[in-house]
Chain A
Amino acid sequence: MKRNIKRLARSGVLPALCLLFVAVLARGQQPDRDADALLKAMRDEMARSTTQLKFNDLEKPYFIEYAVTEEESFGVSAAFGALVRSTHNRGRALKVQVRVGSYDLDNGDFISQSDFFSGGSFPTLLVIDDDYNALRHDLWLATDIAYKRALEQLSRKRAFVQNRVEDDEDKAPDFSREEAYAFIGPRQTIRFDQALWEKRAREWSNIFRQFPDIQQSSVSVTAHLVHKYLINSEGTVTRQPSVLVSVGVGATTQAIDGMRLSHFLPFYVTDLDQLPPPDEISRRVRQMAEDLTNLRIAPLLDTNYNGPVLLTGQASAEMFSQFLAPNLSGQRPPLAEQEQMRAAAAFSRSELAERLNQRVLPNFLSVFDDPKEQLKDGRTLIGAYDVDDQGVPARRVSLIEQGVLKNLLMSRRPRKGLLHSNGHGRSSLFGGASAQSGNLFIQASNGKSYEELKKQLMEMCRSQNLPWGILIKALNESGGGEGARGMTLSAPFLLYKVHVQDGREELIRGAAVSVSSIRALRDIAAAGNDAYILNRISSEAPSLLGSSIAPRSIIAPSVLIEEMDVKRSAASQQKPAIITHPYFNK
């Protein structure tokens, strides 16, 4: 396993997946699946394994799945006008899943001392050439290892289940039965003009030479072509191409008192051509640098606040991404052999899953997830896909209707009352698939304008005798699932006091925003008539091995929440820099 980590790390698959992705030109080619050596190798070895794989008198597999993630990625990064890295990598990662036992009780979703992947599999590197024999050889070895591990896991799991009092949760099967599905998307290619993007990255990063207060900055551009292959012993065969392009701009500074301030500005699209024009990106970079510079000298929050908070645009979508999205997952936590692992397993438990048919939002809000939507108002939704990572076709799922929870996002891990997948089993490079959102739409039935929302915020403050209210226009990205389960929002970037007297907006730094529980979302007082599209590549289901990549989109209106806690951030105060920036102190 260690060996595999090293191999992966070096092959570029890992860095490619972990980095932000970027721009690509992709055009369809050769739909002929027989010409695809990888697909043929997968099918042939699958056929052999399903019919012949059996160890002595032990059980045969009842389910086998091969998932191959093939990637070609380009990356360019620059700082202060000079190139820091320029890369091009190719890799193929294979995950083999073997299930023994039955749909009702199998080796899956069980964390034991010898297996932390709970039935998922650690990827191995496949050859990157289209060499049928070499591919089959790799598949053969990986299948053999997965099968033996599955047998061992099943015997451990059976022993564990026998000695344990069954609770209500256990009454669902381990794995759902789904219909076979065939989807062969076209093979695509990617063209990335390395020199052009190097030039642009230099130019964008050079903008920071105009901002003396920014201590550190970087710009990265990545383009990522992925072909996901998935076949299983039930007859599902899928090949799904996708492209992810990103431009990411990060900058940090320190306030006079030493407080570290940072922001990351991402652009995600699914085709190079969809990126905003270079000048527009330059403008946004400049804006971000200005915002960060202004934040440096903004006053600190002087007193703790409890009261209404208006979240607009990005801040609102980010709030829904952090508070609501993870709780719409119907993923049942895995069983865990040991006490310590049990807590980790339960970490991914939804706060809402037990409240089906109850009110969880105000009646003017409805929520659905639709991975089949490619665009919203002409803009790319990166959470779109045709087939999920378990070979189940993507489906629109109505989750919350007029405030009432109606359904959950489901993978092939059933839960009581929800016995089937609805095409939301999404996977990370490590570990197995879990139920996660694709394109999550939050919609308001009687949306208000920004002015109306602000007016309502001020009225609410007035009635509570508050001299000012809180307005948040931007939040920092949560660090890949970190804090996603907590009820504290990621650090605000643009947070303002709105003075009740005159409506003045005063930028404030160093605030931490939280709610007491998910119930706070029931007390959303009003929503906007806008729809902000937030694209994210962090997973919302933190795996035991850290965050994972699952591109997703959240589309949300601005919201006015009745009650939030806003406190002085507990973040450790750094000392201001002693040495000065050489460029600005010549």
Chain B
Amino acid sequence: MKKQMACMGAVGCLLLTLFCVPWMEKAGAAEKPIAKGAVLKALEEEMQRAKQILAQKGSPPPYFIGYQVTEIQSTTIAATRGALRSSDTNRFRFLDVDVRVGAYDLDNTHQIRGQRTPFQASALAPPTAIPIEDDVDAIKSVIWLETDRRYKQAVENLIKVKTNRAVMVAEDDQSPDFSREKPQTALLASASLNPDAAEWEKKARGLSALFKRYPIVLDSEVRFSADSTTRYIVNSEGTSVQDQSNHARLSIIARTKADDGMDLFRFESFDAHSLDRLPDEATTGRTIEKLAKDLAVLRTAPVIEPYTGPAILSGRASGVFFHEIFGHRIEGHRQKDAEGAQTFTRQVGQPVLPDFISVYDDPTAERAAGIDLNGTYDYDDEGVKAERVTVVEKGVLKNFLMSRSPVKGFDKSNGHGRKSVGYRAVGRQGNLIVQSSKKVSEAKLREMLIEEVKRQGKPYGLLFADISGGFTFTGRGTPQAFQVTPVMVYRVYPDGRPDELVRGAELIGTPLTSFSRIIASSDKEEVFNGICGAESGWVPVSAVSPGILTTQIEVQKSRKASDRPPILPPPDADKLLNK
């Protein structure tokens, strides 16, 4: 339930999800071929049996059955102010069963129009826990019943779909419901992360204790997680894939309040495909120090004034911006959703960004700017091989991120069908990479900002150093406004005064026009790693972008009301003062 909560009611994404589940992810590098184990054997054999029995006795028989088992071994450790908050190690296996009746052209998953539950089509939940031991008979004893149940649901749904089609006018997009894809076989495994929990508990305690030096930090947490995920994907078309991915994450959150009650936070995370690629304690310690100091400055920083004018978004801020505002709109299934806003549906072949900007999504990329990418994988969650997709070339829209749900003009998956346990896959981002051919140094970009400030006759420009996630509403019922939260925003003055940090900024305006106003980029590529929540659950993603300069961004003061700072001083305040 916790997973659905964050995206309820909105086709949205929290790129920066502070307290969301550390999730599975892909590290292609060290994978080695291995022998077929009990899970694949059980899935394949039950698949054959179900196909056979349902072909004889099913009315109508299914045309597709898909099984996925997700095995997660996870360790999560959280500490605050030198003490553990939690330390949990878990291992589980979940089974998702997708049964389709009808035909590739029209099946039970077809969207039922007029139904006010837009996520109905993607939900397979709840997932079914299966044995974590390699006992083929025990694993099979769960699969068959789940298949039977999903089959009956599918038959019922197909009747609804057909009825709905009969009473509604023809849809604009007559694409099939499911694409035909080449079966894939792969058996890959890499070493699990297996962190030493006691050692990481010690580290987490030690690092989190650093915040004790900063009385203005009200609440803070250092969180370590290590997940090794094995996926087993089997379908009735002949796909049989087993692979493994590792994701280690060290994240830090710190919160405070300004005297007027405004909630302020700083968050930083380090993501890696192996434990040894996480930063050392000294580096993490410096980050903690920086976050605490940022908060100290933010607390007393002036509150932002409404502003419309030029701004620089740092590479990371731009990455979040692109992921949220642009990335979600190029997800394939969204072009077909009868309730969605279909933002880019009719713009293929037309310019949607300045001509010096190209956008790719490349799940096969492992690193960028020396940083491990979260959105790396070899096969997507429908067992389709990951492809690098050129979404925008020199400003012109070329392609969408496709799952096996075709849209008009795009009848194949390009390996972007992604989901978390319990959901049906839809087109999602992996590693979104923004590239620019109009690159200048960061110093030059700053000069250009100041020129633009003067040209527009503004008192100052803005520099967004850090933006945290938010929601992108693409539903028709909501305005196409975006909500990402700028965390570190500076006023950049044309007269050479030092930059001034401001707080409480909220971005407003119309997302699509924001992009057309980019006039240059920096030559420094930055990575934002996050975990994105949308209608097919949480998936790890990355956004890679250079810093960008846009001539117009609209900002207002955040209107969120909140409580005043604590009435009493911290319990250990006396001790701190005596020191």
Binding site for B on A (CB under 8 A): 2-3, 5-7, 9-12, 44-45, 48-49, 52-55, 78-87, 89-91, 125-129, 131, 133-141, 144-145, 147-148, 209, 215-216, 575, 577-583
- A133 and B209 CA atoms in complex are apart in Å by 11
Among B72-90, those with CB < 8 Å from A are 76, 79-88, 90
Q: Is B214 located at the chain interface by the 8 A CB criterion?
A: no
- A35 and B129 CA atoms in complex are apart in Å by 42
Residues of A within 8 A of B563 (CB): 145, 148
B132 contacts A85, CB within 8 Å? yes
B138 contacts A129, CB within 8 Å? no
- A83 and B92 CA atoms in complex are apart in Å by 10
Q: Is B46 located at the chain interface by the 8 A CB criterion?
A: yes
A83 contacts B132, CB within 8 Å? yes
B571 contacts A133, CB within 8 Å? yes
26 A-B contacts (beta carbon < 8 Å): A9-B2, A44-B571, A54-B567, A80-B142, A81-B135, A82-B138, A82-B139, A84-B92, A87-B90, A125-B86, A126-B85, A127-B85, A128-B87, A129-B84, A131-B82, A137-B570, A140-B566, A140-B570, A141-B219, A148-B563, A209-B137, A216-B141, A578-B148, A581-B141, A581-B144, A582-B143
B19 contacts A7, CB within 8 Å? yes
- A215 and B85 CA atoms in complex are apart in Å by 41
Among B122-181, those with CB < 8 Å from A are 129-133, 135, 137-145, 147-148, 151-152
B131 contacts A82, CB within 8 Å? yes
Chain B's closest residue to A217 (CB) is B141
Residues of A within 8 A of B138 (CB): 79-82
B46 contacts A91, CB within 8 Å? no
B132 contacts A137, CB within 8 Å? no
- A85 and B74 CA atoms in complex are apart in Å by 13
- A184 and B417 CA atoms in complex are apart in Å by 57
- A137 and B85 CA atoms in complex are apart in Å by 13
> Are A11 and B2 CB-contacts (below 8 A) given A80-B131, A84-B131, A140-B570?
no
Residues of B within 8 A of A138 (CB): 80
A133 contacts B81, CB within 8 Å? yes
A582 contacts B53, CB within 8 Å? no
B141 contacts A578, CB within 8 Å? no
Chain B's closest residue to A208 (CB) is B141
> Are A127 and B148 CB-contacts (below 8 A) given A7-B19, A84-B132?
no
Chain B's closest residue to A133 (CB) is B572
- A90 and B133 CA atoms in complex are apart in Å by 24
- A110 and B490 CA atoms in complex are apart in Å by 44
Residues of A within 8 A of B50 (CB): 579
A127 contacts B140, CB within 8 Å? no
> Are A80 and B86 CB-contacts (below 8 A) given A7-B19, A580-B144?
no
> Are A140 and B81 CB-contacts (below 8 A) given A85-B92, A128-B86?
no
Binding site for A on B (CB under 8 A): 1-2, 5-6, 18-21, 45-46, 49-50, 53-54, 57-58, 76, 79-88, 90-92, 129-133, 135, 137-145, 147-148, 151-152, 205, 212, 218-219, 563-564, 566-568, 570-572
Chain A's closest residue to B151 (CB) is A578
B129 contacts A578, CB within 8 Å? no
Chain B's closest residue to A13 (CB) is B86
A582: shortest Cβ distance to chain B, in Å?
4
> Are A48 and B567 CB-contacts (below 8 A) given A129-B84, A582-B49?
no
A582 contacts B144, CB within 8 Å? yes
- A134 and B54 CA atoms in complex are apart in Å by 59
A459: shortest Cβ distance to chain B, in Å?
46
Tally of A-B Cβ pairs under 8 angstroms = 170
- Residues of B contacting A: mostly: mixed
Residues of B within 8 A of A6 (CB): 2, 5, 19-20
> Are A579 and B148 CB-contacts (below 8 A) given A79-B131, A125-B85?
yes
- A43 and B459 CA atoms in complex are apart in Å by 55
A582 contacts B152, CB within 8 Å? no
A579 contacts B49, CB within 8 Å? yes
Chain A's closest residue to B140 (CB) is A582
Chain A's closest residue to B50 (CB) is A579
Residues of A within 8 A of B58 (CB): 578
B567 contacts A147, CB within 8 Å? yes
CB contact between A53 and one of B84, B87, B147, B568 (< 8 Å): that residue: B568
Residues of B within 8 A of A10 (CB): 2, 21, 76, 86, 88
A583 contacts B145, CB within 8 Å? no
Residues of B within 8 A of A141 (CB): 218-219, 566
- A133 and B81 CA atoms in complex are apart in Å by 8
- A81 and B38 CA atoms in complex are apart in Å by 15
- A486 and B19 CA atoms in complex are apart in Å by 39
Residues of B within 8 A of A135 (CB): 83
B572 contacts A83, CB within 8 Å? no
B205: shortest Cβ distance to chain A, in Å?
8
B435: shortest Cβ distance to chain A, in Å?
36
Residues of A within 8 A of B5 (CB): 2, 5-6
> Are A578 and B54 CB-contacts (below 8 A) given A12-B88, A137-B81?
yes
CB contact between B148 and one of A5, A52, A79, A577 (< 8 Å): that residue: A577
Residues of B within 8 A of A81 (CB): 135, 137-138
A11 contacts B19, CB within 8 Å? no
- A182 and B392 CA atoms in complex are apart in Å by 71
B83 contacts A579, CB within 8 Å? no
B392: shortest Cβ distance to chain A, in Å?
35
- A148 and B130 CA atoms in complex are apart in Å by 46
> Are A3 and B87 CB-contacts (below 8 A) given A140-B570, A579-B54?
no
A59: shortest Cβ distance to chain B, in Å?
13
B64: shortest Cβ distance to chain A, in Å?
16
- A438 and B529 CA atoms in complex are apart in Å by 51
Residues of A within 8 A of B141 (CB): 79-80, 216, 581-583
Residues of A within 8 A of B76 (CB): 10
Residue with the greatest number of chain A CB neighbours at <10 A, chosen from B20, B83, B133, B143: B83
Chain A's closest residue to B130 (CB) is A84
Residues of A within 8 A of B57 (CB): 578
Residues of B within 8 A of A583 (CB): 137, 140-141
B140 contacts A82, CB within 8 Å? no
Residue with the greatest number of chain A CB neighbours at <10 A, chosen from B79, B85, B135: B85
Residues of B within 8 A of A137 (CB): 80-81, 570-572
- A345 and B452 CA atoms in complex are apart in Å by 60
Residues of B within 8 A of A80 (CB): 131, 135, 137-138, 141-142
B265: shortest Cβ distance to chain A, in Å?
11
Chain A's closest residue to B147 (CB) is A579
Residues of A within 8 A of B21 (CB): 10
Chain B's closest residue to A152 (CB) is B563
- A126 and B219 CA atoms in complex are apart in Å by 12
Residue with the greatest number of chain A CB neighbours at <10 A, chosen from B45, B57, B90: B90
CB contact between A215 and one of B18, B53, B132, B145 (< 8 Å): that residue: B145
Residue with the greatest number of chain B CB neighbours at <10 A, chosen from A52, A209, A216, A579: A579
B85: shortest Cβ distance to chain A, in Å?
5
Residue with the greatest number of chain B CB neighbours at <10 A, chosen from A81, A87, A127, A581: A127
B81 contacts A134, CB within 8 Å? yes
- A83 and B91 CA atoms in complex are apart in Å by 11
Residue with the greatest number of chain B CB neighbours at <10 A, chosen from A10, A126, A209: A10
A91 contacts B132, CB within 8 Å? no
A280: shortest Cβ distance to chain B, in Å?
24
- A83 and B129 CA atoms in complex are apart in Å by 11
- A172 and B20 CA atoms in complex are apart in Å by 45
- A85 and B132 CA atoms in complex are apart in Å by 7
Chain A's closest residue to B74 (CB) is A10
B22: shortest Cβ distance to chain A, in Å?
9
- A337 and B325 CA atoms in complex are apart in Å by 40
Residue with the greatest number of chain B CB neighbours at <10 A, chosen from A53, A140, A582: A582
A496: shortest Cβ distance to chain B, in Å?
29
- A287 and B212 CA atoms in complex are apart in Å by 59
Residues of B within 8 A of A85 (CB): 91-92, 129, 132
- A444 and B473 CA atoms in complex are apart in Å by 64
Residue with the greatest number of chain B CB neighbours at <10 A, chosen from A44, A54, A87, A131: A131
Residues of B within 8 A of A86 (CB): 91, 132
